[in-house]
Structure 1
């Protein structure tokens, strides 16, 4: 099950947990209200026939998917890719990730610009809304295998912060000010 907490401000190894002292955890409902990030539990071993995923794909129009493995052994240009993933950015489309193996962290900004760390493990599916500032890193296991879902052909263009003038960011801020009431919720 996914865990979410407020991050400390230390700039040590990004793959560490980075809890505040004392740790400050969030419930999934709070994560959604502060960020619009959605969470679903999926049977990763039988994801092709998982009812929740099938319903999500139909309702949200996810017509394309692929798989990516992030590890030093499997990812070409590993060090530079991890650096790029960890650079704060946003996308014009949702970012949908189902964890099939391994673990890692998605960091997202809340409504007060604090970092929230989302630990994902096998079976976790998260949907990061378009326009939210976020980043990704592996944890100390240095391995994750995920399915990525897209509406139509994949567009995975990161727009590094600042990108506040982008329409997707403006739309995100509007929904955030409304606590994401009825925002894409399936």
Structure 2
């Protein structure tokens, strides 16, 4: 995975939007974002490593989603635009890319800047509950991703606004990164 600051220029969300300013693992950790690379191998050894991460974080369930023009047909553009709305979740979000590539943009609270994380196969990302983020494919236009869940699979996005700014999970997130 490569992380850098988003350039904020107009243009297709799937373009790199690379400002040329890198974001270090330390910067990501300071906002609660964790990254790990687990190589996807034909023998399936990666499954044991992902299962170990799930057990360590008390996750009991997962699903696999595929996003592509071929798979979504006429819904493709609408669906990827919906993922790109700035939002948060009340649960931690863990994603492991099995195939393809895309971008997770995470909001650096102190500066309100976007940090763009370009992920490929083998990248595992942990986003804390309450962090503002968004997702888009890159120009490859396809991804197959394992989503991990504490219990039953659920994905509830709370789009950014006054209500989410006051959400208790958002407040707890800000407290966890020591924002006053």
Post-superposition Cα deviations, 1:39-71, rounded to whole Å, max 9, x if no partner, equal 111132222222xx2321112111110101111
The aligned residue for residue 6 of structure 2 is 7
CA contact (8 A) 2:63 2:153 kept: no
Which residue is 1:106 aligned to? 104
Aligned to 2:156: 157
Residue 95 of structure 1 deviates from its aligned partner by 1.1
The offset of 1:75, in angstroms, is 2.8
Matched residues in 2 for 1:130 and 1:176: separation? 12
Where does residue 182 of structure 1 map in the other structure? none
Counterpart for residue 64 of structure 2: 67
Could you say what secondary structure the match of 2:119 adopts? strand
Q: Distance in 1 between matches of 2:82 and 2:29?
A: 25
Partner residue of 1:134?
Answer: 133
After the TM superposition, which segments of 4 or more aligned residues of structure 1 sit over 6 Å from their partners? none
What number of residue pairs does the alignment pair up? 172
How big is the shift at 1:19? 1.4
Secondary structure of the residue aligned to 1:73 is helix
TM-score (norm 2): 0.91
1:97 CA drift (Å): 0.5
User: TM-score, normalization: structure 1?
Assistant: 0.88
Cross-structure match for 1:181: none
CA distance in 2, matches of 1:168, 1:146: 25
Provide the C-alpha distance between the structure 1 equivalents of 2:169 and 2:72, rounded to a whole number of angstroms. Answer: 29
Cα distance in 2 for residues equivalent to 1:67 and 1:145: 7
Native 8 Å contact 2:88 2:160 kept in 1: yes
Residues 8-87 of structure 1: pairs in structure 2 closer than 5 A: 8-20=7-19, 23-33=20-30, 35-45=31-41, 46=44, 47-50=46-49, 53-75=50-72, 77-87=75-85
Higher strand share: 2
